């Protein structure tokens, strides 16, 4: 645990950003989710829907941690280009992309009936995608689905990986038994 020099404090104050805007930046390739220390896309549809549910309920969502990078593979050959790498939050941002630009749908019963324009019938009943909401509701979720974002300023992928490990390596994972007990309480 010893270091060769004192630790340098990182200023990672979180600001809130619209999830839709962050998803757009991912789609445009201005935010990368594919750092070598990241897992693949591992959230289930249920976990993705639970994030949408959390946004609708107004619950706090964990902070996305990013790093500003300079890269030298600029396609216009005009010199270094700037990109943002996601250190932590790939699953949340992937869900935002799927919701705003993909095919993620949620139970239409989560919305007032006059907020839903088109549904898709599933085994669980009618579901609605973002595009199936009315224009006023699409504007509402665009403005209310927020993600806290903390921006690091580290100079290497190794330093990003260190942050990732510290953020994700602490605590004790919830056991399946404990989560089953929580689910039983929810069901009543």
Three-class SS state of 83 = strand
- Average the pLDDT over 58-80 and give the result: 74
**Site of tokens 């969502």:** 61
Other beta carbons within 10 angstroms of residue 141's beta carbon come to 20
Of the pLDDT bands very low, low, confident and very high (cuts 50, 70, 90), residue 1 is: confident
Alpha-helical runs (H) found in the chain: 19-27, 45-57, 90-101, 135-144, 157-169, 176-187
Question: Would residue 91 count as lying in a domain?
Answer: yes
- Average the pLDDT over 35-64 and give the result: 95
Q: Tell whether the model's pLDDT for residue 79 goes beyond 70.
A: no
Question: Would residue 7 count as lying in a domain?
Answer: no
Question: Would residue 1 count as lying in a domain?
Answer: no
Count the domains in the chain. Answer: 1
Question: Would residue 170 count as lying in a domain?
Answer: yes
Question: Would residue 101 count as lying in a domain?
Answer: yes
Q: What is the reported pLDDT for 3? A: 86
Q: Tell whether the model's pLDDT for residue 164 goes beyond 50.
A: yes
Query: Which of 179, 178, 154 lies closest to 166, judged by CA?
Result: 154
More confident residue, 83 or 84: 84
Tokens representing residue 37 in the block: 């220390």
Tokens representing residue 103 in the block: 């095919």
Question: Would residue 179 count as lying in a domain?
Answer: yes
State the DSSP code for 115: G
- Average the pLDDT over 160-179 and give the result: 85
- Average the pLDDT over 157-175 and give the result: 86
Domain ranges, residue 150: 14-187
Other beta carbons within 10 angstroms of residue 80's beta carbon come to 11
How far separated are the first and last CA of the chain, in Å rounded? 46
Query: Which of 103, 92, 102 lies closest to 48, judged by CA?
Result: 92
Q: Tell whether the model's pLDDT for residue 78 goes beyond 70.
A: no
Strands 64-71 and 146-152: parallel
Cα distance between residue 121 and residue 68, in whole Å: 42
Question: Would residue 151 count as lying in a domain?
Answer: yes
Of the pLDDT bands very low, low, confident and very high (cuts 50, 70, 90), residue 4 is: very high
Question: Would residue 4 count as lying in a domain?
Answer: no
Q: Tell whether the model's pLDDT for residue 75 goes beyond 50.
A: no
CA 17 to chain CA centroid, Å, is 11
Please write the tens of the pLDDT for every residue from 142-155.
999 999 999 998 88
State the DSSP code for 113: G
């Amino acid at each position: 645990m010893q270091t060769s020099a004192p630790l340098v404090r990182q200023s990672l104050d979180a600001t809130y950003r619209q999830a839709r805007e962050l998803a757009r930046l991912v789609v445009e390739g201005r935010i990368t989710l594919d750092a070598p220390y990241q897992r693949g896309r591992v959230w289930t549809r249920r976990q993705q829907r639970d994030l949408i549910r959390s946004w609708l309920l107004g619950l706090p969502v964990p902070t996305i941690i990013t790093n500003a990078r300079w890269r030298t593979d600029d396609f216009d050959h005009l010199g270094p280009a700037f990109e943002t790498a996601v250190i932590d939050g790939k699953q949340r941002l992937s869900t935002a992309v799927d919701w705003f630009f993909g095919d993620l749908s949620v139970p239409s019963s989560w919305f007032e009936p006059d907020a839903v324009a088109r549904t898709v019938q599933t085994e669980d009943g009618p579901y609605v995608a973002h595009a199936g909401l009315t224009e006023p509701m699409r504007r509402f979720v665009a403005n209310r689905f927020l993600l806290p974002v903390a921006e690091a300023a580290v100079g290497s992928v190794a330093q990003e990986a260190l942050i990732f490990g510290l953020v994700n390596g602490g605590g004790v994972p919830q056991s399946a038994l404990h989560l089953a007990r929580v689910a039983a309480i929810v069901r009543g």
